[in-house]
Each structure stands twice: as structure tokens, then as C-alpha cells.
Amino acid sequence: MDKIHIIDLCNMLLWLLIILTLLCGFIFTKTTKGIPKSWFEWKTEFRYQYLGIAGLIHDAQYASRDRVALYKQPDRIAVITGGNRGIGLRIVEKLLACDMTVIMGVRDPRSAEDAVGGIVDLSQTKGKLICEQLDVGDMKSVRAFAQKISQTYAKVDLLINNAGIMFAPFKLTADGYESHFAINYLGHFMLTHLLLPKLRAAGKPGRNARIVNVSSCVNLIGRINYKDLNGLKYYYPGTAYSQSKLAQILFTRHLQTLLDAEKANVQVNVVHPGIVDTDLFEHSATTAVPFFKKLFFKTPERGSRTVVFAAIDPSIEGQGGTYLSNGGKGPFHADAKQPAKCEKFFEHSCALLKIKQYGNGEYPL
């Protein structure tokens, strides 16, 4: 075999290797364990692949600024949904290190306290941990949780809307909402409404109370399907997830507009924590390649940094409505840059929940 044929063979093998690598990458990083069944599902998967690669590059590129400085704030009360695993657990760890009173809204308070106790010495920390029952996808549970906080505390300094699900099979909640939409967005929309009076009470000039919505970079491919928000006509997990993440950003942007109009000392920010190795990927194909996640994804500790940064860092005081990623501003959906579209979705959410005056703390009948 001459030299030219050897080079051609090597080139062919190289291209074959590249194609196999891309194919394996696609197969083992899909949002579902199954094979897409339509061109729409294939397009959705390709878009997720693109955003995943872009997200990993962004995480690596801005790793040096992905930091948060913790400082003592014993007078502050923080409320967080979830927090018994993954990013949330590390957020709680950091808030307790700031000597805050941290109220966790979780489905199983006892196991949540055990989880926190596994990484924080609760007998030694000056922070105070309180675990209360909350199913953020159930509006009655949200109401009960908010009522308990409102009756117990005069103020709430921080509200971190962290709980969520990802790529889950189709399911309607007890209130009749698709589970991603209910848990990732609508329950937090209601909780924020109910706790806003306590947040207003906490805010002071130069020291705003803060709301942090934990979103995702996949908001960039999200679309609000007003005709079928619950996916009753057609459901695909990746589509439902990206819709819920866009919803959080539209909500954030318009709520900040309302807070600015009333000159409230409250700011709301939205955060992409990064591509993080957590149990949220349990429904995706990545479970077949755990070493890939360990190698390329952020740890939950790193994923918690920008969330806590949004909650406490003085450098973003007064910069509400901002989308943050890796300790700085990040790209977000074009619809969220249009106030009319943010307002339309906000009003639609109020109509769904029968809220007449958002932020008055009253549970709609």
C-alpha cells in the first residue's frame, strides 16, 4: 500500500471516529432515555445539544469569576424551596455559613434536616435551620407554607425559588397543571405573591430584600404555548422544561418593573447555575454515562455559587431584573427583553391563579 492510500485510510478512519464520537455524544446526552419519534423531537434534542455544549464552554470560560464572598448576616431570614439535595443543599450550606435563619420548604422535612446535617454541624453553626413541609406543585401546600411563615416572622429578607424537576414524564398536578409548569414556575409565582408583603417589610434603602429564581440556559429555546400550556395535545419533556424556564424569566422581568414602579426595596433576579451534576438528570440518557457528568459538569457546590451571589452580593444591589450566569450577566431569551410579552404572560399567570392584585399576600378564593 503506497503512502497516499495510507493517508486516505487514516483520514477516513479519523472522520469515522469523529462521527462515532458525535453519535455517542448525542445518544448518551439526550433529554430522554428513548429515541425521538418525530422531526420536532429531533430538533428539540439538537437544540439541547447545542445549548449543552455552549453552556459547558461558558462554564469553563468564566470559571474564574464564578465566585461568591460569604459574610455574616445574623439578622436575615432566608426562605428556600427545595434544598435537600443537589444545588439547593449547597445553597443552604452557604446561607447557614452567613449565620442566617434558613427556612427550607421541602416535601420531607425530616430527611431534609438529615441531609443538611450531613454537611453542616448543626450543633455548632450560628445559623438556624428550620424545615417545613411544602409541595410547591400543590397550591394548597404553597398556601399553608406561606401562611406559616407569615404568622411566624415579621419579615423575609431572601426568597430563593429553587425547587424543580427536569425532563419528567407527563403528569398533571392536583390543580390540573403540567408538572414542570406547576413546580418550576406556577407554584413559585404563587409563593412569591403570598410572601411579597414580608419581603417589602424586610427591604431597606441600600439593602434590598431579594428574590432569586433559579432558571436555566434552556430558556433560550423555550416557547410559551398559550394554546396548550399543559401539553395536553402534544407533550415532550424537553419542551415542557424549557417552557417553564422561560416562564421564570418573563416573570422576573415584569415583577421587577412592578416593584420599581412602587419604589419597593425589593429586587428579583434570575439565575442559570450552570450545567451541574445533580439528580435532576435522572430522566435523561446521561445516567448511562455518569463519568461524563463527573468529568465535564459543575459540582453542586459550584452550581450554588451564582445563586447565592444573586441573593447576597453587594455588587448587584439595585440591579433587579438581571439574568445571571457564572457570577455575571448572561444571554437570555429575546421575548424577555420585550416588556409587553413579559406583561402578557404575567397577567395570564395571574388569571390562571385568579390573583386580582399581585403581591398583596392574599390567597385567591
Catalytic residues: 241
Q: Give the alpha-carbon dihedral of 80, 86, 89, 95, to 10 degrees.
A: -70
Return d(Cα 75, Cα 98) in angstroms, integer: 10
Residue 190 CA to chain centroid, in angstroms? Answer: 16
Going by C-alpha positions, the residue among 154, 137, 146 that lies closest to residue 361 is 146
- The 3-class SS string of the chain reads CCHHHHHHHHHHHHHHHHHHHHHHHHHCCCCCCCCCCCHHHHHHHHHHHHHHHHHHHHHHHCHHHCCCCCCCCCCCEEEEECCCCHHHHHHHHHHHHCCCEEEEEECCHHHHHHHHHCCCCCCCCCCEEEEEECCCCCHHHHHHHHHHHHHHCCCCCEEEECCCCCCCCCCECCCCCEHHHHHHHHHHHHHHHHHHHHHHHHCECCECEEEEEECCHHHHHCCCCCCCCCCCCCCCHHHHHHHHHHHHHHHHHHHHHHHHHCCCCEEEEEEECCCECCHHHHHCHHHHCHHHHHHHCECHHHHHHHHHHHHHCHHHCCCCCCEEECCEECCCCHHHHCHHHHHHHHHHHHHHHCCCCCCCCCCCC
